Chains A and B, each alone.
Chain A
Amino acid sequence: MTDAHYDAVVVGGGHNGLVCGAYLAKAGRKVLLLERRAEVGGAAVTREFADGFSVSACAQWLQQLHPDVESDLKLSRHGLELAARDLDTIALAQDGAHVTIAANGVSGAALSDRDAERYARFSRQMFKFARLLARVSERRVPQLTEAGWRDRIAMLSLALGMKRLGRADMRDLLRIGLINIYDVMEEHFDNDLLKGALSLDATLGTHLGPRSPNSVISFLHRRMGEVFGYRGPALVRGGMGGLSQALAAAASACGVEIRTEVQVTSIDAAADGVSGITLAGGERIRAPIVVSNADPKTTFEILLGLANVEAGVARRVHNYRMQGNVAKLHLALDGLPDFVGLDESQLGQRLVVAPGMDAMELAFNAAKYGEYSPNPVLDISIPSLSDDSLAPAGSHVLTALVQYAPYSLKAGWETGKEAFTQLAIETLKRYAPNLRETIIASELLTPVDLEREFHLGGGHWHHGEIGLDQLLVARPFPGASRYAMPVPGLFLCGAGAHPGGGVMGLAGRNAAREIIAHKPGKSRT
Chain B
Amino acid sequence: MDQLKPHDPTMMRQTPFHSRVARACEINQWDDWKGYTTPLAYTEVEQEYFAIRNSTGVFDLSPMTKYHIGGPDAEAFLNRVMTRDIRKLKPGRVGYTVWCNDAGQVMDDGTLFNFGDNNYRLCSYTRVMDWLQWSALGFDVSIEDVTADVAALAVQGPTSCAVLKAMGCAGLEGLKPFGLTHFDFEGVELMVSRTGFTGDLGYELWIVPEQAELLWDRLFAAGKDLGIRATGGEALELARIEAGFLQAGVDFVPAEEVVRQGRSRSPFELGLDWLVDLDKGVFNGRRALLEERMHGSRYRFVFLDVEGNKPAEHSFILKGRKEIGIVTSAAWCPTAKSNIAFAQIDARYGKAGEELIAEVYYQRELAWTRVLAKCRVLRSPVFNSPKRRQTPAPDY
Chain A contact residues, CB within 8 Å of chain B: 270-271, 301, 305-315, 317-318, 479, 486, 523-524
Contacts and interface: CB of A to CB of B under 8 A. Distances in A.
B101 A312 contact: yes
Contacts of B286: 271, 310
Given A523-B290, A523-B291, A312 B284 contact: yes
27 contacts: A270-B282, A301-B138, A305-B138, A306-B137, A306-B138, A307-B76, A307-B77, A307-B139, A307-B282, A308-B138, A308-B282, A310-B80, A310-B283, A310-B284, A311-B80, A311-B81, A311-B101, A311-B102, A311-B131, A311-B284, A312-B101, A312-B102, A312-B134, A314-B137, A314-B138, A486-B102, A523-B287
B133 to A, nearest CB: 9
B283 A315 contact: no
A362 to B, nearest CB: 31
B135 interface: yes
Contacts of B76: 307
A309 B287 CA distance: 10
B103, B138, B280, most chain A CB atoms within 10 A = B138
Contacts of A270: 281-282
A523 B281 CA distance: 16
A313 B285 CA distance: 11
A38 to B, nearest CB: 31
Contacts of B139: 306-307
Contacts of B137: 306, 311, 314-315, 317-318
Contacts of A314: 134-135, 137-138
B307 to A, nearest CB: 42
Lowest 9 A-B CB distances belong to which pairs? A306-B138, A312-B102, A311-B135, A307-B138, A314-B137, A310-B102, A315-B134, A306-B137, A271-B281
A317 B281 CA distance: 20
A181 to B, nearest CB: 35
Nearest to B256: A312
Contacts of B131: 311
Nearest to B135: A311
Contacts of A486: 102, 287
Interface in B55-112: 73, 76-77, 80-81, 101-103
Nearest to B279: A271
Contacts of A307: 73, 76-77, 80, 138-139, 282
Contact of A310 (B73, B280, B282, B291): B282
A307 B284 CA distance: 10
B291 to A, nearest CB: 7
Nearest to B81: A311
Contacts of A271: 279-282, 286
Interface string B338-369: 00000000000000000000000000000000
Interface of B: 73, 76-77, 80-81, 101-103, 131, 134-135, 137-139, 279-287, 290-291
A305 B73 CA distance: 13
Nearest to A479: B102
A523 B103 CA distance: 14
A311 B130 CA distance: 11
A310 B285 contact: yes
B73, B80, B281, B285, most chain A CB atoms within 10 A = B80
A328 B326 CA distance: 63
Nearest to A301: B138
Contacts, number: 61
Contacts of A523: 287, 290-291
A312 B103 CA distance: 9
Nearest to A488: B287
A301 to B, nearest CB: 7
A311 B102 CA distance: 7
A306 B77 CA distance: 11
A329 to B, nearest CB: 36
A479 B102 CA distance: 11
A317 B287 CA distance: 17
A479 B285 CA distance: 13
A312 B256 CA distance: 11
B134 A310 contact: no
Given A270-B282, A479-B102, 13 more contacts: A305-B138, A306-B137, A307-B73, A309-B282, A310-B80, A310-B102, A310-B282, A310-B286, A311-B80, A311-B131, A312-B102, A312-B134, A318-B134
Nearest to A486: B287
Contacts of A305: 138
B12 to A, nearest CB: 33
A237 B268 CA distance: 61
A308 B285 CA distance: 13
Contacts of A315: 134, 137
B289 to A, nearest CB: 11
A479 B137 CA distance: 19
A10 B354 CA distance: 55
Contacts of B101: 311-312
Contacts of B80: 307, 310-311
B77, B102, B103, B290, most chain A CB atoms within 10 A = B102
A271 to B, nearest CB: 5
A113 B145 CA distance: 68
A464 to B, nearest CB: 17
A488 to B, nearest CB: 8
Nearest to A306: B138
B361 to A, nearest CB: 37
Contact of B287 (A310, A311, A318): A310
Nearest to B291: A523
Nearest to A314: B137
Contacts of B284: 310-312
A309 B81 CA distance: 11
B233 to A, nearest CB: 32
Contact of B102 (A301, A313, A318, A524): A313
A251 to B, nearest CB: 32
A486 B290 CA distance: 13
Contacts of A311: 80-81, 101-102, 131, 134-135, 137, 284
A267 to B, nearest CB: 13
A339 B24 CA distance: 90
Contacts of B287: 310, 486, 523
B206 to A, nearest CB: 28
A379 to B, nearest CB: 36
A307 to B, nearest CB: 4
Nearest to A308: B282
A9 to B, nearest CB: 21
Contacts of B134: 311-312, 314-315, 318
A306 B290 CA distance: 20
A307 B74 CA distance: 12
A313 B102 CA distance: 8
Nearest to B288: A310
Nearest to A304: B138
A35 to B, nearest CB: 26
B36 to A, nearest CB: 29
Contacts of A301: 138
B280, B286, B287, most chain A CB atoms within 10 A = B287
A486 B103 CA distance: 12
